[in-house]
Structure 1
Amino acid sequence: MAVFKLNTTDGGQFNFSLKNDADKTLIKSEQYNTKAAAENGIESVQNNADNASRYDAKASDSGKFYFNLKAGNGQIIGTSPMYADAAARDAAIAETQKVAKTASTES
């Protein structure tokens, strides 16, 4: 089952990643100053992940592919790792849409 992993950095900030069943990262968040803010970020991912219009599929200057998941206000709430091709990126978007809403959270 997919899971949000909530992490604390050495500097006392918080971030999260959404991992699939195989423990591969689908998206990572920005750094948050508080745990509550990071938890709100997770909730925002869960609320927006099944909306295809919230995904911004991109290609990097180095020829790798990735996506950003955005909230309704346009703010990026998660960024994927880099993928070798657009098909892999698009498969990761589909998986994120499928698993994010029901993923549990681990600290």
Structure 2
Amino acid sequence: MAGKFEVFGDATGKIRWRLKAGNGEIVAQSQAYASKAAAEKGIASVQSIAAEAKVVDLTNATN
């Protein structure tokens, strides 16, 4: 089963989205948006940039 984005209202009345893997695990969740349209724009942004996003390993970075 493919992953999916779910759009939902949070406890404060704001709109958020979460990305679920095919097994139902949440793999990402958004910030709070004021409107459903803004949340949908956030989803579109993630969809367009994620495939080409680089992975930056900061686990060995010094402070």
Aligned residues: 56
Between Structure 1 and Structure 2, whose CA radius of gyration is higher? 2
In structure 2, the partner of 1:100 is 50
Q: Is 1:62 the counterpart of 2:8 in the alignment?
A: no
User: How do 1:19-98 and structure 2 match up within 5 A?
Assistant: 54-98=4-48
TM-score, scaled to structure 1:
0.49
- How many Å separate the matches in 2 of 1:98 and 1:71? 18
Residue by residue, what CA displacement relative to the aligned partner does 1:3-31 show, whole Å, maximum 9, x if unpaired? xxxxxxxxxxxxxxxxxxxxxxxxxxxxx
User: Secondary structure of 2:7's match?
Assistant: strand
- How far off is 1:60 after superposition? 1.0
Q: After TM superposition, give the deviation of residue 67 of structure 1 in Å.
A: 0.5
TM-score, normalising length from structure 2? 0.80
Q: Determine what percentage of the aligned residue pairs are the same residue.
A: 34
Contiguous gaps of at least 5 residues in structure 2? 59-63
CA distance in 1, matches of 2:9, 2:17: 8
Runs (4+) off by over 4 Å: none
CA-atom RMSD in angstroms: 1.4
Deviations 1:45-100, CA, capped at 9 Å, x for gaps: xxxxxx7x610111112110101101110100000011111111000001111111
> Quick check: which one's strand share is greater?
1
